[in-house]
Amino acid sequence: MTDSDLKYTPEHEWVRVEAGVATVGITDHAQQALGDIVYVELPEVGATFAKGEEAVVLESTKAAASVYAPAAGEVVEVNEALPDDPGLVNRDCAGQGWMYKLKVEDESQLAGLLDAAGYEALLADEDG
């Protein structure tokens, strides 16, 4: 299940960019693979990340996983609902289950993100 207004990473994160701010979450594919998410460790507002750096830690009934920064930038907002209700990620991963917002330093770093068709192709390749 992909959304045409989102971009995607090969690590199964979705990114929505508006006015230089990237909202980041995990894809439906990722939340299904992880199973029931029981813990979300969000970054602090004001934290800065390099592209590809771990920004969020998720724990599920099956595994732990990381969510990576899609570009270098500063965290300007986090989803305060997730620590108390990590299951939001499972119920609405591309909506209320978003994780953090990143003020992107250089939007050209987002150029390599996949569109919906590219992400669907990636999933098809992974399924073999």
Question: Which fold is adopted by the domain 7-108?
Answer: OB fold (Dihydrolipoamide Acetyltransferase, E2P) (2.40.50)
Q: Provide the H-helix boundaries in 2-114.
A: 28-34, 88-91
Kindly report, residue by residue over 94-126, the tens digit of the pLDDT.
999 999 999 999 999 999 999 999 999 999 998
What are the boundaries of each domain within the chain?
A: 7-108
Residue whose structure tokens are 């998410």: 37
CB neighbours (10 Å) of residue 10? 12
Contact 38, 61 (CB under 8 A): yes
> Per residue in 10-63, pLDDT tens?
999 999 999 999 999 999 999 999 999 999 999 999 999 999 999 999 999 999
Q: Whole-model pTM? A: 0.94
Give which of 77, 92, 88, 25 is closest to 11, Cα–Cα.
25
Question: What pLDDT does residue 5 have?
Answer: 81
pLDDT of residue 2: 62
